[in-house]
Structure 1
Amino acid sequence: MLLISSLQNPKIKFLHQLKEKSRLRKKEQKFVIEGKREIFLAIHGGYQLLQIYYCPTIISNEDVSAIIDNTSSSIDIFEITTEIYQKLSHRSTTEGILAIAKSKEASLDNLDLDNKNPLILVAESPEKPGNIGALLRTADAAKVDAVLIANPRTDLYNPNIIRSSVGCVFTNNIAMGSTAEIIAYLNHKNIAIYGAALQSSENYYTQDYTKPTAIVVGTEDKGLTDEWLYNTSQNIKIPMSGVIDSMNVSVAAGILIFEAKRQRDFVV
């Protein structure tokens, strides 16, 4: 275990750049995790930790040891000063620990669907990390079989996604691809596609989601693109009684996904 006390240390500079730069994360196939819960979830999600940086004035040695004991490979461990941790920390509330982990390739080719009757959440072109994080929390709460992100605009390992998802980026089965690739994948698997849209739509609660199902949500400002609208099994809408005709994408996804869960639980 080594002590690092300088902000100019090359490891600290690299860690800071890894947090800030998506291009570097993709090139190095590494990313930064902050917080005990998130690190534990990453470990249980099969992610390989490479390095741990901790501040002993904030986190106890026992807590650090508990994390290390849960890993199956050797990890480089560094003690850092409070000044360095505050420079690196992304949160206003501190937990005193960060880790560098190896990224996973979130491709459709690597997607493992064990369930013969899957329930899948698809998000087209989500951009705001907060929305992506909320979608992943919803998916985790419903225990969907997969989350597919079509035409991604944001790096999956963006620190804001990890934070806003409270680590659910590690608990979900996630794959990314173009809209065309994901539509082809769903069609190949004979999975019905229900697109959240106003055009040619039926009320969401009138549909049967007990068979293999993908629920697709678009962006809040533009909704789903024509490519999705022309390839859905059925477009669905949430009846709304107020003045506006849209709601936060994660809220809408939650309503639709949990209706599918309700139907499936009733059938069981």
Structure 2
Amino acid sequence: MATKQINSIQNPLIKHIVLLKEKSRERKKSGLFVIEGQRELSLALKGNYQIETLLFYPELCSENELSKLTTPQTNTIEISKDVFQKLAHRSTTEGIIAVAKSKTQAITNLTFKTKTPLILIAEAPEKPGNIGALLRTADAANVDAFIIANPKTDIYNPNIIRSSVGCVFTNQIATGTTSEIIQFLKDNTINTYCAALQASTSYTTQNFTSPTAIVVGTEATGLSDTWLAHSTQNISIPMQGEIDSMNVSVAAGILIFEAKRQRDFK
């Protein structure tokens, strides 16, 4: 199936893939990013991502497995063990590395299949692990969109793809500034519930069955004043221990699944 082989880590394509993995600037400039692993690639294909090149290490990826991830038009390249080890972050990725075209995450591209969308919004999340966990929460709840306000890193950072276990490809994602997103919510008559301690009420007292956006901030600084000024209602999760906050993805999960519970029993 492979029409080409690459055995040297000095090959220009291999050097470019390393750059794509390591440099956000290179990903933005080229409009390309790297996918590692069969599960992640299968989810990207399900999400209609265009695959530019697929590299495989035959000792870990059989012809049968490869055939499930390719078409006759796929640019497929067999790579050596040295090349695979150079490109792979972990050894359990079944010998698959792919280069794919990124998608734009403009807020104006969002479309909703329902008149009462449920949206999860995170403002300025920094840690790839938290972003990945938020994406997994969004996928698990099947929210209508996941929006990042004032993003600190691009969504195709390999650590985000890895920590989301491919959920970055299964969610409808948008990014924008806080002001752009707030205007979008207003234009679409979507209620905004901000997770905050200030002037808040318990999340269990609110009705999330109408068009709803649940907004979470970072654990360190919380949400900006701009969000709080435009909130339909600030909500909080009552704490019963000694601390007054929890991991942002855990909090988001509690709030989003309360909204889902209400909608299931509406």
TM-score normalised by the chain length of structure 2: 0.98
1:56 pairs with 52, 55, 58, which one? Answer: 58
Pick from 9, 13, 16: which aligns with 1:14?
16
| 1:105 partner amino acid | T
Deviates more, 1:57-66 or 1:255-264: 57-66
Kindly indicate whether residue 48 of structure 2 is the aligned counterpart of residue 46 of structure 1.
yes
Deviations 1:51-99 (A, max 9, x none): 0000001111111111014xxx822111001111111101243420010
2:204 equivalent in structure 1: 205
Do residues 149 (structure 1) and 148 (structure 2) align? Answer: yes
Q: Which residue of 1 aligns with 2:84?
A: 85
More displaced stretch, 73-82 vs 171-180: 73-82
Q: Which amino acid in 2 is paired with 1:225?
A: S
* Superposition pairs of residues 86-105 of structure 1, within 5 angstroms: 86-105=85-104
Name the counterpart of 1:169: 168
Q: For 1:35, which of 23, 37, 53 is the aligned residue?
A: 37
Q: Can you list the C-alpha shifts for 1:156-176, whole angstroms capped at 9, x where unaligned?
A: 000000000000000000000
Rounded to whole Å, the distance in 1 between the matches of 2:9 and 2:29 is 23
C-alpha distance in structure 1 between counterparts of 2:91 and 2:74, whole Å:
27
Q: Give the fraction of aligned pairs with identical amino acids, expressed as a percent.
A: 62
Q: Deviations over 1:8-40 (max 9, x none)?
A: 010111111111110000000000000001101
Contact 2:124 2:148 in 1 (8 A): yes
Q: Which string of whole-angstrom CA distances, capped at 9 and with x for unpartnered residues, describes residues 168-189 of structure 1?
A: 0000000000000000000110
**1:242 to 2:241 alignment:** yes
Confirm or deny: 8 A CA contact 2:195 2:234 kept in the other structure. Answer: yes
Q: CA RMSD in A?
A: 0.9
Question: Secondary structure at the residue paired with 2:143?
Answer: coil
**Cα distance in 1, alignment partners of residues 107 and 80 from structure 2:** 41
1:115 deviation in Å? 1.4
* TM-superposition CA deviations, 1:186-210 (whole Å, max 9, x none): 0110000000000000000000000
**Contact 2:38 / 2:93 at 8 angstroms: preserved in 1?**
no
Distance in 1 (alpha carbons) for counterparts of 2:143 and 2:253: 11
Whichever residue aligns with residue 14 of structure 1, its letter is H
Shift, 1:113, TM fit: 1.6
**Residues 92 and 246 (structure 1 numbering): CA distance in 2 closer, same or farther, change over 3 Å?**
farther
1:186 aligns with 2:198: no
Are the counterparts in 1 of residues 118 and 211 from structure 2 also a CA contact under 8 Å? yes
Residues 170 and 94 of structure 1: is their aligned pair in 2 closer, same or farther, counting only changes over 3 Å? Answer: closer
**Equivalents in 2 of 1:115, 1:133: separation in Å?**
25
TM-score by length of 1: 0.97
Give the whole-Å Cα distance in 1 for the aligned partners of 2:67 and 2:91: 24
Contact 2:36 2:93 survives alignment (8 Å): no
Gaps of 5+ in 1: none
Deviation readout 1:124-163 (Å, 9 max, x if unpaired): 0011000000000000000000001000001100000000
* Residue 111 of structure 2: aligned partner: 112
| Partner secondary structure for residue 112 of structure 1 | coil
Q: Which residue of 2 aligns with 1:225?
A: 224
